[in-house]
Amino acid sequence: MRVALFRWKAIGPLLLVGVVGVGSWLVFADRIAKATAQAVGTTLVGARVEIDRLHLDLPHGRVEIRGLTVASPFEALENLLQADALVADIDPLPLLEKKVVIDRLAATGLRFGTPRLTDGRTGGRSDGVMGQVTRWGEQLQVPALALPTGTINIDRLDLGQLNTPRAAAALAARADSARLAWEAGLGGLDVTATVDTAKRLAERLRGAKATDVRLLGDARRALEQVKRAQERVLGLERSVASGAAALQGGVAGLADAKQRDYALARGLLKLPGLDAPDIGAALFGLAAVDRFQRALYWVQLGRRYMPPGLLPRATPGPSRARRAGMTVRFPRAHVEPAFLLRTAELSVELGAGGAAPRTYAARLSDVTTDPTLHGRPATASASAPGFRLGAVLDHVRATPRDTVAASLVGVALPPLRLPSLPLRIEPGSGTVALSFALQGDQVRARWTMQSDRVRWVRDSGAAASATGDVIWRVVSAIATLEVSASLTGSVTHPRLGVSSNVDRAIADRLRALLGAELAAAERRVRAQVDSLVDGQVAPVLAQVEALGGDVTGRLGGQRAQLDDARKALEQRLRELTRLPGVRLP
């Protein structure tokens, strides 16, 4: 029986299914696009992205978004931004290639840092880029300033932590090796036998005749032996001298190790030095690190989603019941990027010191997932009275260069809690500026904050202490605040520097107040280090000292014996062979 290949009567239902499918898409396209945009945005930012309404108008190449809210990936109950409306003019043809090309985007009613009711953060602090940035921030060690208690704690010193005992043991081992080597060298010289032979021959020459050729030959051979022995002694002396110098270097190294141990023990005082930079780092270091972390987060996100080059790029696949897998993109030269935002005109609302928000214009251009394809760096700019922003993310070439600079004048500055003190600064309105440049792996950043009307608030629950009271008296008289923090070096090994007018004032007062106590504590830890290491260092020093002197002395004695024997032998030979025209060699 022949079976038909096609089921013609099913064409109708299939077409019906197709029509229903297209109809469903038309009905649900906005919802699908909204869900997709929310999911993609949430993945990109690392915090919840919410959209009130999204409308796709593909025939006119337009997408409208109403009520966009992007939660902050850093703060639990804060939005990164909110926008009333976004209207994008998109190019429909690239959509067939699953590419999004936005010719122009207009955003109105952009507001930053608005409050929210729920935590919008999606990733943990240890996940993805946030995890990298968190770990990066943790390596920037900010010293703790334990002032309010007025006491200086000294932790118990552990012998295993100290450098000097290890250095002393190593030096003792080297001294032992040198001693063994030099003893072997001394034994190998065999000076006594050579000297004895030379003396015996000198005696025999005393009554000998010049015609006794055999005796003269023996004497000359003995003289050669003495000379060779002298050369060996000289060689060993040189070796001993250089070895002794090396051991003395080791002794100097012991002194260096001890200085390091003093520094280590001083660190256990749990008090930074009384230099202003240390105090500045202790007071404002955490706040500065927080700002730099945020800047680095956005730059690293940019590098992750806007990488240079045309190599295949794997990103996590879509979230679904099945395993997500990886989605790999294969960029090709001379075609459209997977995502391109040519220009965006943004209308930003900024409040200045509690005043009614004012509207500023900002511009964004050339934001793309394939900067190498597009050939132009992404830029952002905004300029208004009291507000400036400029950013260039140049990922066109192999080494990415990211530069961001922003400054706000007359903006309400957030309160700062000083981690080491029971104090809080309410800076009021002031000026804040941040510049952040990352070229390849090299970072150069600066954060400054200035305010003329600072208000200091003391934590009422904190225990009273003499030092705390002094600090309170010092800072509460300061009406202005000037903080400057810098970050330099590589991303993997950054260097943080912080200074402020507050730490300079505190440093001056602390020197007067805590200087004596700190000096006494330092003396105590030095004595503690001495008591731990001196017992191990002294025998080694004595061993090195004795070793050099002993070997040098013995070598000197042997050299003197050889010199005497050589002189006696040469004199006898000269007397015996004193003939006209004859010279002994």
Angle at CA of residue 233, ends 227 and 238, nearest 5°:
130
What is the spatial distance between Cα 147 and Cα 466, in angstroms, rounded to a whole number? 9
What is the spatial distance between Cα 103 and Cα 215, in angstroms, rounded to a whole number? 113
Residue 439, amino acid: Q
Residue 188 or 312 having the CB closest to another protein = 312
User: What DSSP letter does each residue of 59-84 carry, written as one string?
Assistant: GGTEEEEEEEEEE-SS-TTBEEEEEE
| Interface positions with another protein (CB under 8 A) | 1, 3-7, 9-11, 13-14, 17, 21, 96-99, 312, 314, 317-318, 320, 322-332, 335
Closest CB 103 distance from another protein, rounded Å:
19
Closest CB 7 distance from another protein, rounded Å:
5
What is the spatial distance between Cα 251 and Cα 244, in angstroms, rounded to a whole number? 10
Strand partners, 183: none
Residue 32 or 478 having the CB closest to another protein = 32
What is the spatial distance between Cα 541 and Cα 525, in angstroms, rounded to a whole number? 23
Closest CB 12 distance from another protein, rounded Å:
10
Residue 97 or 469 having the CB closest to another protein = 97
Strand partners, 359: 349
Residue 302 or 337 having the CB closest to another protein = 337
State whether the Cα torsion 275-278-281-282 is positive or negative.
negative
Does residue 264 contact residue 532 with C-beta atoms inside 8 Å?
A: no
Residue 322 or 583 having the CB closest to another protein = 322
Closest CB 267 distance from another protein, rounded Å:
48
Residue 4 or 477 having the CB closest to another protein = 4
Closest CB 353 distance from another protein, rounded Å:
50
Residue 321 or 356 having the CB closest to another protein = 321
In order of 142, 280, 462, 567, the CA distances from 419 in angstroms are: 10, 11, 13, 82
**Could you tell me the two tokens for 542?**
């004595």
Contacts of 20 (CB under 8 A, 6+ apart): none
What is the spatial distance between Cα 585 and Cα 562, in angstroms, rounded to a whole number? 18
SS3 364: strand
Closest CB 499 distance from another protein, rounded Å:
49
Q: Give the number of other CB atoms < 10 A from CB of residue 82.
A: 19
Residue 369 or 450 having the CB closest to another protein = 369
Residue 28 or 480 having the CB closest to another protein = 28
Closest CB 315 distance from another protein, rounded Å:
10
State whether the Cα torsion 138-141-145-151 is positive or negative.
positive
SS3 33: helix
DSSP state of 438: E
**Could you tell me the two tokens for 225?**
């032996």
Strand partners, 53: 66
Residue 18 or 549 having the CB closest to another protein = 18
Tokens 């930012």 map to which residue? 45
Residue 314 or 464 having the CB closest to another protein = 314
What is the spatial distance between Cα 159 and Cα 170, in angstroms, rounded to a whole number? 16
In order of 1, 2, 3, 9, 124, the CA distances from 6 in angstroms are: 15, 12, 9, 9, 54
Closest CB 94 distance from another protein, rounded Å:
9
Closest CB 284 distance from another protein, rounded Å:
46
